[in-house]
Amino acid sequence: MLIRSHDSGFNHPHASDITPRAVYEGRRDMLRLLAGGAAGAALAGWAGREALAQAAPGKLPALAGVKSTVPGAQTMEKVTDYKDASTYNNYYEFGTDKADPAKNAGTLKTRPWTVEVEGLVKKPGKYGIEDLLKLSAQEDRTYRLRCVEGWSMVIPWVGYSLAELIKKVEPQGNAKYVEFLTLADPKTMPFVGSRVLDWPYAEGLRMDEAMHPLTLLTFGMYGEVLPNQNGAPVRIVVPWKYGFKSAKSIVKIRFVEKEPGTAWNKAAANEYGFYSNVNPDVDHPRWSQATERRIGDGGGLFAKRHKTLIFNGYEQQVGQLYAGMDLKKFY
């Protein structure tokens, strides 16, 4: 996002880092078996052990969900290696370099954690993270995340539709947008004092976008709780929009009547709009959005580029939300 360089290609991960999907899935099956008490049988399997050793560091508590049946929730594309997904991050509160969040986010204190729901709802309230985790059944969903900078990943997330929480708090008729505010704690987040963005990091969705079943209130990835650098303990993931719409480490969800200001729009309104739907036909003012580099493909500057898809490939599911809208104007 930062103005100085866009997807320079440096810092790229190696092809050897790629985790075959089968390995990841083997591990996921294993976690399920363990949860079901079939530990002995699972451990006997060489494949299971191998999977555990390779796919993820395994340092975080397991968080497995049931396979989601929401249309679009299961891409068949190759899953990005956990190592890449957890070390190549944008989380500006912890620094602007892709490697900074993984290095610095250890200071983030994710317990106790409260998410406050306020504004135009009949049932405002404070949700402790443990209650929020249990509010609905956790689901496994594999989404493509496309960053506005021109790279993408495929990540297996764990969470449930934000709509489940929205239904519980009963929005009033005049609630047209949902605003997300994230933690801004200068004591634990070294870059919150910087002037790169207006803190706290803020994002927003129109109510129908927020209610769309694909919009995920996210607590985990790769069958474990989120690592801090990926937005622990709770974030949003909106798969058809550029990654910056997916606010990390949320502390407040506010229902409002008017389109809320958002962090990147305030920083550079001509570059980052409110909608920010992935769109290969609407270029960023300083670069094309027609193609993307898949993290993990290797090859650096010469990496094979993939064609970017309208709505990041989720047109069938979300295209109708924007029927009749000029997507060049509402970028």
Piece of 13-21, 127-135, 246-254, 276-284 that binds ligand MTE (CB under 6 A)? 246-254
Q: How far is the CB of 197 from ligand MTE (least distance, A)?
A: 7
What is the footprint of ligand MTE within residues 18-57 (CB under 6 A)? none
1 is a contact residue toward ligand MTE (CB under 6 A): yes
SS3 readout for 49-89: HHHHHHHCCCCCCECCCEECCCCCCECCCCCCCHHHHCCCC
308 is a contact residue toward ligand MTE (CB under 6 A): no
Sequence-distant (6+) residues with CB within 8 A of 315 are 240, 309
Q: How far is the CB of 66 from ligand MTE (least distance, A)?
A: 22
Quick one: which of 68, 161, 215, 230 contacts ligand MTE (CB under 6 A)? 230
Residue 306 in tokens: 């993939």
Sketch the per residue contact string, 79 through 98, with ligand MTE: x for CB under 6 A, - otherwise: ----------xxxxx-----
Quick one: which of 127, 199, 201, 322 contacts ligand MTE (CB under 6 A)? 201
Dihedral (C-alpha) 99, 102, 105, 110: value to the nearest 10 degrees? 150
Q: How far is the CB of 93 from ligand MTE (least distance, A)?
A: 6
State the Cα–Cα distance between residues 256 and 167, nearest whole angstrom. 15
Q: How far is the CB of 221 from ligand MTE (least distance, A)?
A: 8
Nearest CA among 95, 112, 89 for reference residue 192 = 95
Closer CB to ligand MTE, 4 or 123, in the complex: 4
Q: How far is the CB of 174 from ligand MTE (least distance, A)?
A: 27
- What is the distance between the terminal CA atoms of the chain, rounded to a whole angstrom? 16
